[in-house]
Amino acid sequence: MAGSNGIEVEDLVREFKGGLRAVDGVSLRVCEGEIYGFLGPNGAGKSTTVLMLTTLLPITAGTATVAGFDVARQGPLVRSAIGAALQEAALDPYLTGTEHVRLQAALHGMPRKEGRRRGDELLERVGLVEAAGRKVGGYSGGMKRRLDLALALLHGPEVLFLDEPTTGLDPQSRQALWEEVSRLATDEGVTVFLTTQYLEEADALADRIGIIDDGKIVAEDTPEALKAQIGRPSVEAVPQDPAELESLGDVLGRFGSPVAASSGAVAVRLERGAGELAEVVRALDGAGVGVSSLRLDAPTLDDVFLEKTGRSLEGESEDAAEETPA
Amino acid sequence: MLFFSVALAVARRQVYRVFTKLSFFLPSLFPVLFFLAFAGGLTRVGEVPGFDFPAGYEAFQFVWVLLQAVTFGGAFTGFAIAGDFESGFARRLLLAAHRREGIILGYILASLVRVTFTGLLVAVSAYLVGMQVLGGGVDLFGLVGLALLLNFSATLFATGIALRLRTQQASPLIQTPLFLMLFLAPVFVPMPLLEGWIEAVAAVNPLTFLLEAGRSLIIGEPAGVWFAYGVGAALALVLLGWALTGLRRAERSGS
């Protein structure tokens, strides 16, 4: 059971005009105080799922309860129980950070004193005290994200939805946001539903991960269990002589199928696991191919994604990050 | 309770934007320019044979400019709603609002504040150029009531369009019907002096009833006032449905 402050979704469907099914029978359970990572490439159905769970988009079919309330029939109660920071921070460039906090408190019907106290506390927590009096139009992308998070937390939500919260953020801001999200779940028992296309983010933050592709969940478990499903590590080698790259590829190809490798290197997933490494070294020696480095890599979430969908997420998330303005 | 806190929060932000951002504030001054141009430049229209308006041409024109100001106050509110959806800010309101109808009430309240300010500006300008008011306090109260009822209806009309289109491209669709309604009425001369197709159109234009009733109130000879209130109330009721169904559309769109 997800518990009263968790999320329960059963056969959730969202169909758009023309019959396009952006979300196609998604079922999942998120327990109280858990961080659930919803991982998938652009257009996989992550944001559409979040829009439905936050009552911003009607459900076509299926059922969903958030914090114990039915999303389709108890929208107002769901909205009172959740906080959400969506992909595009919904901020008014003509208002200051403080004015946003006051507006948000008033929208939630919080008493003025309580709203101010909580707002000041949150602005301090997200490091925006000094910028609070400035118009949001002059904020950087990272500052807007942090303000959005503070606003989402203002009324003390039981469930927090974060839709790609770190897209476009610099590494420092990303790390700070990760720490805050972890603290919220651990110290305050907030249930977090986090969509991301960053494997590293899902790996670092999520207690459990659901991988979504083409509107369907293709895998779901803890990051460790998902990686263990793959089981087989990969080996990457760099030839001493760059001209021997092809020969190196031929030798390694005998031990498994090729996977993405660094520039000037060759990598394969070892079909029979790490035990084959000694044989790889002997085969390279036998073929007279010298290597300057040989590395054994444990399976990653991208390997899981590749296994489940036949595509790699690494390149897609990098492309998306480059396209996203900071 | 939460319904009203949402409405007040939305209204406060909207009013704050209007009075702190020059580009939002400037349109509030247009009716004053209209009044000065029409009442000042066309004063001799009042001397046309058959033009019988005891309070003079300034008072005659003031009522139309007042109704024009409140109508366009509603239109500008529609532009603001469309802008909030286009920028994505509306999501904050939709996500936080316990009862989303409170968002519409908030925009209506902001519109009322805005047109109260504009109406006062036009009234002060009219008094400064020597407008005569023959009606008493109750008559003036009736005129203000008509103006606010019209603003309520115009805001609901603009809200309905803005919520359906959710983009700034809604602006011409909001503005054009209101503009036609305002000008296909006895703007410059009384109804009996209109002739031809304009007379036929003005005779069925709902604004005509409000305008004629308003003019009768300013000269202290109320005529057709209850009927005008009835027309205004009927318009408001229909347009309330229009705005609420617009809200449902916006909710279904996932904006």
| pLDDT(A325) > 60 | no
- A311 lies in some domain: no
| pLDDT(A315) > 70 | no
Instruction: Find all residues with CB under 8 Å of A246, minimum gap 6, and list them.
Output: none
pLDDT of residue A1: 45
A187 lies in the same domain as A89: yes
Give the span between the Cα atoms of B89 and A164, in whole angstroms.
Answer: 18
Residue numbers of A between 137 and 196 with CB closer than 8 Å to B: 151
Chain position carrying tokens 């106290």: A117
B249 touches chain A (CB under 8 A): no
B105 touches chain A (CB under 8 A): no
Residue B98 is nearest to which of A51, A80, A84, comparing CB atoms?
A80
A132 lies in the same domain as A67: yes
User: Which residue type is seen at B178?
Assistant: L
Whether the CB-CB separation of B76 and B15 falls below 8 Å is answered with no
Q: Please give the sequence-ordered ranges of beta strands (E in DSSP) within A214-307, or none if there are none.
A: 216-221, 234-239, 256-258, 266-270, 291-297
Residue with the bigger pLDDT between B221 and A276: it is B221
- What interface predicted TM-score (ipTM) does this complex get? 0.88
Mean pLDDT of chain A: 89
pLDDT of residue A165: 87
Q: Is A9 helix (H, G, I), strand (E, B) or coil?
A: strand
Task: Give percent of chain A above pLDDT 90.
Answer: 65
A125 lies in the same domain as A264: no
For residue B130, CA distances in Å to A126, A168, B59, B133, B188 come to: 58, 61, 9, 10, 18
Residue A108 is nearest to which of B20, B87, B96, comparing CB atoms?
B96
A91 lies in the same domain as A105: yes
Dihedral sign of CA atoms B198, B204, B208, B213 in order: positive
Nearest to B104 by CA among B10, B232, B203, B206: B10
Average pLDDT value for residue range A222-243:
86
- A166 lies in some domain: yes
- A314 lies in some domain: no
A14 lies in the same domain as A132: yes
A191 lies in the same domain as A211: yes
Question: pTM above the 0.80 mark?
Answer: yes
User: Given an 8 Å threshold on Cβ–Cβ distance, is A57 in contact with B90?
Assistant: no
Whether the CB-CB separation of A7 and A53 falls below 8 Å is answered with yes
Per-residue tokens: A205: 């933050």
Nearest to B10 by CA among B86, B76, B101: B101
A91 lies in the same domain as A166: yes
- A194 lies in some domain: yes
Residue A255: CB atoms within 10 A of its CB come to 17
Give the span between the Cα atoms of A36 and A21, in whole angstroms.
Answer: 23
B19 touches chain A (CB under 8 A): no
How many structural domains compose chain A?
Answer: 2
Give the span between the Cα atoms of A185 and A179, in whole angstroms.
Answer: 10
A253 lies in the same domain as A112: no
Strand pairing category for A69-70 and A61-66:
antiparallel
The CATH number of whichever domain residue A288 belongs to comes to 3.30.70.980
Dihedral sign of CA atoms A286, A287, A288, A289 in order: negative
- Long-range contacts at A11-19 (CB < 8 A, ≥ 24 apart): A11/A61, A11/A62, A11/A63, A12/A49, A12/A52, A12/A59, A12/A61, A12/A62, A12/A63, A12/A64, A13/A59, A13/A60, A13/A61, A13/A62, A14/A45, A14/A48, A14/A49, A14/A52, A14/A57, A14/A59, A14/A60, A15/A60, A15/A61
The CATH number of whichever domain residue A158 belongs to comes to 3.40.50.300
Instruction: Find all residues with CB under 8 Å of B231, minimum gap 6, and list them.
Output: B206, B209, B210
- ∠ CA A101-A107-A113, rounded to 5°: 55
- The C-alpha of A277 sits at a distance from chain B's nearest C-alpha, in angstroms, of 52
Per-residue tokens: B82: 């469309």
Residues of B in contact with A76 (CB under 8 A): 2, 98-99
- A322 lies in some domain: no
Residue with the bigger pLDDT between B228 and A276: it is B228
| pLDDT(A5) > 80 | no
CA A226 to chain centre: 15
Question: What distance, in Å, lies between the first and last C-alpha atoms of chain B?
Answer: 26
Dihedral angle of Cα A248, A250, A256, A257, to the nearest 10 degrees:
100
The string of pLDDT tens digits covering residues A94-116 is 999 999 999 999 999 999 999 99
Nearest to A198 by CA among A162, A231, A233: A162
A292 lies in the same domain as A197: no
- Give residue A319's pLDDT band: very low, low, confident or very high (50, 70, 90): very low
Q: Residue B172 is part of which domain span?
A: 2-253
Task: Name the helix (H) or strand (E) containing B230.
Answer: helix B225-253
How many structural domains compose chain B?
Answer: 1
CA B55 to chain centre: 23
The pLDDT tens digits along chain B (255 residues) read 789 999 999 999 999 999 998 888 888 888 998 888 887 777 777 777 778 889 999 999 999 999 999 999 999 999 999 999 999 999 999 999 989 999 999 999 999 999 999 999 999 999 998 899 999 999 999 999 999 999 999 999 999 999 999 999 999 999 999 999 999 999 988 898 888 999 999 999 999 999 999 999 999 999 999 999 999 999 999 999 999 999 999 999 877
Quickly list DSSP for A119-142: HHHHHHHTT-TTTTTSBGGG--HH
- Give residue A302's pLDDT band: very low, low, confident or very high (50, 70, 90): confident
The string of pLDDT tens digits covering residues A156-205 is 999 999 998 888 778 888 888 889 899 999 999 999 999 988 888 888 89
A256 lies in the same domain as A292: yes
A91 touches chain B (CB under 8 A): yes
A200 lies in the same domain as A266: no
Whether the CB-CB separation of A3 and A30 falls below 8 Å is answered with no
| pLDDT(A321) > 50 | no
- A313 lies in some domain: no
Give the span between the Cα atoms of A111 and A60, in whole angstroms.
Answer: 37
- A294 lies in some domain: yes
Dihedral sign of CA atoms A204, A208, A214, A215 in order: negative
Nearest to A95 by CA among A113, A107, A86: A107
B21 touches chain A (CB under 8 A): yes
- A308 lies in some domain: no
User: Given an 8 Å threshold on Cβ–Cβ distance, is A106 in contact with B20?
Assistant: no
Give the span between the Cα atoms of A109 and A208, in whole angstroms.
Answer: 34
Q: Residue A290 is part of which domain span?
A: 232-298
A156 lies in the same domain as A246: no
Task: Name the helix (H) or strand (E) containing A47.
Answer: helix A46-53
Give the span between the Cα atoms of A307 and A219, in whole angstroms.
Answer: 10
